[in-house]
């Protein structure tokens, strides 16, 4: 394959983010604004005695508020390192978690078996929220047809919503999520932004079936969960000295947990979007975001990352198999897939969403979201970093 036609990419001097990333700018030292977002997040979620105290205080509160319940918190589990390790931590802290997994029909065997192994060994009850397959199929196809880069966004929305839903039903006030920006990074919003209004508007325009049972997350839902049910979303790994490699090794040794390759390959559809659709259709290589986060956090060597990025995420055979599997399962003909693949790329901002609210009423929306998220969501940090640089 010739690289002669590839445009020259300007790469950040600190991480491996380059000019293929939407919204990227560089300072006089050649350091990108995503590094700045990372530093902001580091400050907002400190990994020191302040962060540890913050976590301890939450644990005390969770125990106190949930003492009359069978469970005092919900922990979302995907079968990956972060969520399985969080289950272990919750138990270590003396919490009584209910593990919740979303089944959208795409979970890999390894992910399902990891969840079973960990919950069994830790004596944690597991609830699986199964989405209606025809509905989620129709919604995912509508995102593909809408040419939105992160076509798996509806799953992310459904996961959050399912966790709140089960928490509300069980009168549980706390939802714990095992996300870790230090090893995942902040994805540009042009790739991954999603909310309940976006899911609704895209599905209405491109879907064929009515949305009846899909657990969407609208402002009204958030108001209900935050205001009426008093549910809070907590991300403990943001504040703890957490080493993913060590956590992985620990899970393997303790529970026979298995690593499933690259990040987020717990779902076959997620893997397809990451390794085929994003890099090929949108020239969006999410490895750059992940590797960059890990370089900034000292978990990955920059030079080695630059070399690894030269390799395609999949072999030709794996790529062909992934396309075949996904199109068959989604019920798409070869022509339909071709037309999705060749359609003009769009962003989530080409469709109605709540994003204009964040854009124009950021501080008010942030206050409102505090009901559910006691911390500031990364989209706000991104906006701040970008507006400081652009003087919007
Ligand atoms: Zn950078």
Q: pLDDT at residue 195 above 80? A: yes
Q: Is residue 1 part of a domain?
A: no
Q: Is residue 333 part of a domain?
A: yes
Q: Is residue 63 part of a domain?
A: yes
CA of 188 to the centre of ligand 1 (A): 13
Q: pLDDT at residue 5 above 60? A: no
Q: pLDDT at residue 121 above 80? A: yes
- Specify the CATH number for the domain of residue 220: 3.40.50.620
Q: Is residue 329 part of a domain?
A: yes
- What is the reported pLDDT for 4? 47
The residue-averaged pLDDT of 150-164 equals 96
Ligand 1 (single-atom ion) residues, CB below 5 Å:
12, 14-15, 17, 32, 35
Strands (E), the chain: 73-76, 97-103, 125-130, 174-176, 232-234
CA of 376 to the centre of ligand 1 (A): 21
Structure tokens at 132: 């209606």
Q: Is residue 15 part of a domain?
A: no
Rounded-to-integer distance, Cα 293 and Cα 288, Å: 9
CA of 295 to the centre of ligand 1 (A): 9
CA of 90 to the centre of ligand 1 (A): 33
**Average pLDDT score over the chain:** 92
CA of 27 to the centre of ligand 1 (A): 10
Res. 388 pLDDT band, cuts 50 70 90: low
CA of 217 to the centre of ligand 1 (A): 32
Percent of the chain at pLDDT exceeding 70: 96
pLDDT tens, residue by residue, 202-251: 999 999 999 999 999 999 999 999 999 999 999 999 999 889 999 999 99
CA of 225 to the centre of ligand 1 (A): 36
CA of 43 to the centre of ligand 1 (A): 17
CA of 80 to the centre of ligand 1 (A): 26
Q: Is residue 10 part of a domain?
A: no
Better-predicted residue by pLDDT, 355 or 369: 355
CA of 289 to the centre of ligand 1 (A): 9
CA of 273 to the centre of ligand 1 (A): 24
CA of 304 to the centre of ligand 1 (A): 16
What size, in residues, is the chain?
Answer: 392
Q: How far is CA 132 from CA 135, 151, 169, 211, 212, in A?
A: 5, 18, 19, 10, 9
For 232, the domain range is 45-390
Q: pLDDT at residue 362 above 90? A: no
- What is the reported pLDDT for 1? 43
CA of 288 to the centre of ligand 1 (A): 10
Better-predicted residue by pLDDT, 335 or 241: 335
CA of 385 to the centre of ligand 1 (A): 13
pLDDT tens, residue by residue, 250-296: 999 999 999 987 545 778 899 999 999 999 999 999 999 999 999 99
The residue-averaged pLDDT of 76-83 equals 94
Angle (nearest 5°) at CA 368 between 192 and 146: 25
* Contact criterion met (CB below 8 Å) for 137 and 330: yes
DSSP 171: T
Q: Is residue 31 part of a domain?
A: no
CA of 20 to the centre of ligand 1 (A): 13
Domain count, the chain: 1
CA of 293 to the centre of ligand 1 (A): 9
Q: Is residue 28 part of a domain?
A: no
Res. 2 pLDDT band, cuts 50 70 90: very low
């Amino acid at each position: 394959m010739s690289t002669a036609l590839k445009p020259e990419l300007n790469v950040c001097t600190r991480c491996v983010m380059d000019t293929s990333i939407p919204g990227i700018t560089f300072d006089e030292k050649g350091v990108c604004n995503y590094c700045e977002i990372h530093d902001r997040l580091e400050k907002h979620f400190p990994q020191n005695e302040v962060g540890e105290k913050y976590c301890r205080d939450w644990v005390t509160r969770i125990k106190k508020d949930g003492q009359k319940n069978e469970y005092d918190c919900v922990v979302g589990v995907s079968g990956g390192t972060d969520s399985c390790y969080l289950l272990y931590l919750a138990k270590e802290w003396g919490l009584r978690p209910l593990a919740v997994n979303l089944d959208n029909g795409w979970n890999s065997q390894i992910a399902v078996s990891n969840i079973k192994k960990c919950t069994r060994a830790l004596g944690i009850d597991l609830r699986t929220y199964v989405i209606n397959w025809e509905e989620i199929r129709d919604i995912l196809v509508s995102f593909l047809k809408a040419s939105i880069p992160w076509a798996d966004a509806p799953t992310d929305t459904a996961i959050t919503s399912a966790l709140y839903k089960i928490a509300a039903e069980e009168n549980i006030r706390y939802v714990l999520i095992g996300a870790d920006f230090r090893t995942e990074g902040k994805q540009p919003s042009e790739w991954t932004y999603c909310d309940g209004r976006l899911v609704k508007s895209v599905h209405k325009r491109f879907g064929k079936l009515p949305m009846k049972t899909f657990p969407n997350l609208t402002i009204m839902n958030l108001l209900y969960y935050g205001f009426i049910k008093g549910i809070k979303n907590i991300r403990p790994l943001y504040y703890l000295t957490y080493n993913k490699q060590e956590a992985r090794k620990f899970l393997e040794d303790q529970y026979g947990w298995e690593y499933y390759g690259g990040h987020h390959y717990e779902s076959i559809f997620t893997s397809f979007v990451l390794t085929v659709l994003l890099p090929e259709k949108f020239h969006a290589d999410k490895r750059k975001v992940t590797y960059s986060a890990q370089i900034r956090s000292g978990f990955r060597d920059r030079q080695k990352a630059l070399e690894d990025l030269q390799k395609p995420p999949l072999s030709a055979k794996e790529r062909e198999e992934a396309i075949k599997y996904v199109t068959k399962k989604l019920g798409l003909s070869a022509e339909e897939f071709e037309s999705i693949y060749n359609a003009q790329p769009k962003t989530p901002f080409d469709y109605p969403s709540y994003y204009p609210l964040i854009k124009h009423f950021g501080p008010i929306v942030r206050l409102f979201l505090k009901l559910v998220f006691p911390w500031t969501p990364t989209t706000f940090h991104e906006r701040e970093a970008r507006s400081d640089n652009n003087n919007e």
